[in-house]
Amino acid sequence: MSQLEIFVFGGIGAIAPEILRWRRIVTSPRPIPFRHPVLYVLVSLLFVALGGALAIAFESQSRYAALYVGLAAPTLVSAGLGKSRRTGSSSAPPAARERGGTVALAGGHSRLGIRRFLGALNG
């Protein structure tokens, strides 16, 4: 699979949530005000490029892997920033930061950490 294909599928994955959001806006019975359309389109294009670049950077081996890396691009950006807008502090509890991003849940289960998630995508 060529790098261009990987980039395209990563970009499609990155823009897929926005396409669903656009559909919801268009089919909404109440008009939703759309502010700053130029900025919105520019940020959307940046996410497409980021999704494609991440798919290449993580050496995706299949179209599905590239698509999933693209879908994870917004999450990766949020995790990379590691800050909550409301509190200005890291969103993960201290114990989770020490364990590489996993969070303990009730019953002893833990969420999949970002490193394990990305590793699973590439087999």
Note the pLDDT tens digit of each residue in 59-85: 999 999 999 999 998 777 777 776 545
Q: How many CA atoms lie within 13 A of 92 on its CB side?
A: 20
Q: How many CA atoms lie within 13 A of 41 on its CB side?
A: 3
Q: Using a cut of 0.75, tell me whether the model's pTM lies above it.
A: no
Closest CA to 16 of 66, 77, 70, 79: 70
CB 40 within 8 A of CB 22: no
User: What is d(CA 80, CA 109) in angstroms, rounded to the nearest whole number?
Assistant: 24
Q: What pLDDT, on the 0 to 100 scale, is given for residue 104?
A: 45
* pLDDT class of 54 with cuts at 50, 70, 90: very high
